[in-house]
Structures are given as structure tokens and as C-alpha cells.
């Protein structure tokens, strides 16, 4: 009976650790792999790499073949897999034409910036290039990264408002 209680307690502990942190993005560059982690507290890390930390966890290793990311917190090691995308079935009313700007109304932050750049916004593409360069820089200048990210948010908000105002 005691063994069953111990196994149950360990299973609950493992489940709570897994729910605390999720791997939500992987980007492999020529220089190094980068990752996005999300916590149960609804916080997201932004792109970080091995040796960097987020929400008390430190990234310690990555196996590209199995796509397993190893993190540690308080001396306890945990392996994470990329969280599967949640895709639902969309119901389209065929009587109404799809609003091409509808997606832009739902996006924020970097997702909005990437969508604008994908749709030809050269100013946004330039800021995203600066952001990528700063993230991949060996100097890891967090001030520059924060500044560029703030500027991306401002430019994206301005440009999407202008785009949505157009008929």
C-alpha cells in the first residue's frame, strides 16, 4: 500500500512540474538553437538559448534528433517536448466573403509584426531583421532587444491601425 502511495505522489509531482513549463517554440540557426518557453503563469520567455533561464528554470541541453529540451530548476532536471499546436475546425459561412483583415484584428506583438511583414510592410520587415540580429548576437544585449521589441510593438500598432482604416 505504501508503494502505491509513493508512486501516486511521484506521478502527481511529475505532472505538476510538466504543467509548470512548456516548450512552445524551437528555432535552429547556424549559430545555435533557440527556444520559447511558456509557464503556467501565462508568461512567455521570448527566444532564449542553452544556459539562459526563464521563470526559475535554466536550459541545460537540447537533443535535436529527439527534439527534447532539458531544463533544471532547484537541482531537478526535466525534459520537454515541443507542445503540439492546437488546431480546431473552422466553420465558414459560405454566404459571407472572408474579411482579409480579420486575422490582423486578432494578432498582437511579434505575431502581428510577422503578419504585417509577410504582407509587404517593409518598415516592419526591417525592424524584425534588427530584432533577429539582436537575438542572435553574441553580446546578448538585453537592453537593445527590449528596445527593438518595444519599437516593433509600436510600429505594428501604428501600421495595422492604418491598414485597418483603409477601405
- pLDDT in the model for residue 93: 54
Distance from first CA to last CA of the chain, Å, rounded? 70
Q: Are 110 and 101 in contact (CB under 8 A)?
A: no
Specify whether the backbone of 33 is left (phi greater than 0), alpha (psi in -120 to 50) or beta: beta
Distance separating alpha carbons of residues 35 and 119, to the nearest angstrom:
25
Burial-class residue 55 by CB neighbours within 10 Å (0-12, 13-18, 19+): middle
Reported as a pLDDT band with limits 50, 70 and 90, residue 58 is very high
pLDDT in tens, 110-152: 888 888 888 888 998 888 888 888 888 777 677 788 888 889 8
* Residues 6+ away with beta carbon under 8 Å from 158: none
Name the percent of the chain lying above pLDDT 70.
78
Angstrom CA distances, 167 to 76, 83, 147, stand at 56, 38, 33
Question: Contact, 78 vs 58, CB < 8 A?
Answer: no
CA distance 138 to 154: 26
In this structure, the strands spanning 53-54 and 68-73 are unpaired
Is pTM, for the whole model, over 0.75? no
C-alpha grid cell, residue 124: 516592419
CATH of segment(s) 2-81:
2.30.30.830
Amino acid at each position: 500500500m505504501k508503494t502505491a502511495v509513493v508512486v501516486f505522489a511521484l506521478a502527481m509531482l511529475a505532472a505538476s512540474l510538466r504543467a509548470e513549463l512548456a516548450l512552445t517554440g524551437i528555432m535552429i540557426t547556424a549559430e545555435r538553437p533557440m527556444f520559447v518557453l511558456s509557464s503556467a503563469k501565462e508568461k512567455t520567455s521570448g527566444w532564449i538559448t542553452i544556459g539562459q533561464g526563464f521563470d526559475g528554470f535554466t536550459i541545460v541541453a537540447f537533443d535535436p534528433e529527439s527534439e527534447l529540451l532539458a531544463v533544471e530548476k532547484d537541482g531537478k532536471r526535466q525534459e520537454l517536448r515541443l507542445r503540439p499546436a492546437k488546431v480546431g475546425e473552422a466553420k465558414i459561412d459560405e454566404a459571407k466573403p472572408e474579411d482579409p483583415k480579420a486575422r490582423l484584428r486578432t494578432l498582437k506583438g511579434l505575431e502581428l509584426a510577422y503578419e504585417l511583414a509577410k504582407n509587404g510592410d517593409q518598415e516592419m520587415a526591417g525592424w524584425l531583421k534588427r530584432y533577429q540580429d539582436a537575438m542572435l548576437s553574441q553580446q546578448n544585449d538585453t537592453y537593445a532587444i527590449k528596445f527593438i521589441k518595444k519599437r516593433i510593438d509600436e510600429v505594428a500598432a501604428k501600421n495595422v491601425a492604418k491598414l485597418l482604416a483603409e477601405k
